[in-house]
Structure 1
């Protein structure tokens, strides 16, 4: 086995972008929608306003008519009682007619509004306004957009806080994109731990037939662990992060890789088992070559 090909650099250091970076997906998008007022008003509200206007008109007529005038009757006539009853009934019917006309006149505008087609929204605006909150060090900046208002829409103003992590997570969960990580050895060491500093660079690519949805026939037939649902088995050999030397292992029952510490890196360099030329190559790899394996916790 070529020992040089099996040595890899794993882990992160405190002077890198983050100490042992962990991928975390943020919560869903945050939005604030200001709905339009409810239109038309409820049937109860319309009924109460209509009755109140009619009763007020009736009261005005009653105040104007005042008390009923006494009915003059010639008592010398034999049928004076029947005549007085007819006159009182006619006077009452005339009063009721005046009250009914006043009531109908007062509620007529409400009935006319009911017969018209009510709009679905109280807002007379023909557009919807969406404000996108842009991140800014000093203070957030809101960038406004406008679009024609749909027929059945019930809002006119909406604020959206764009969370890029949430968008990426949603697209990844629905199988629209793939995430790729690239790790670069900066060539410097951390002052506290002495480990090489590795920086990461992530990219997002749209999933399509060109990349076969992250499918690799090579991995399917050559890796003992298959692909996708199990970890790919690492080649056997020794691995180092510049501080310790580890030996790779593989647990078949659940398809997981493992690392067992063999010795410190300093002891490894002093060991007479490996030639000096191989040790120099390993040291050069730790200084400038990219890592073979990266572990993100």
Structure 2
């Protein structure tokens, strides 16, 4: 049995690479032919138009996602949910993945005007929400999650993660200081929603331990004179998808957990759903 990829696999891999390189709007059949080492005439032999080929590609992407999700069907529900959330996270340096999702975003705009593309988009949405529903139902049955409206919770979680990914790929390259101010404001609002105004209500208002030494992070000036300078000032901002995924675990998943159930880490979730090879489409 040959290990060589089929012509169909080569064409789909070519579509993937061409979308990353050219996006949807500027993509041509010749671009795809160049990426898969097939002739343009051969592509037209199998697919009448670029749209026909892209619909077939979307079908392949969704089928691959179905297989990937099915491979984790026997994992514990909380771990599966963390893995699902981690699936949406990608860092700014993942430029190929970003380019691919930008192209997919362009494709999604064709949904209202192209019925075959819309059908694939609806199928993808049903897969994502259905996966979360299945995880929640399994978790409720096993006593890991509280009894909640699974359809409503799935819709909220998918919309949150999908929106975060869209925001990252559309705004990350044009981020400004205003974005940082907005994020800081959102963080402060979240603290207020928890009933905290950010102040320390402890009796030890001088920020000292019983032995008189200053607590770490108490606000006392460091001895080297760098008062007010944070040691995290030079660290890059986390990817927006990562920040939202962390918030989803805390704000959506953690309240779902039954007594005694543990919240999996986002890193474990990301690792669980990591692609097997670099060309795996996410």
Scaled by the length of structure 2, the TM-score of the pair is 0.21
Scaled by the length of structure 1, the TM-score of the pair is 0.21
Larger radius of gyration: 1
Q: Which has the higher helix share?
A: 2
Q: Which has the higher strand share?
A: 1
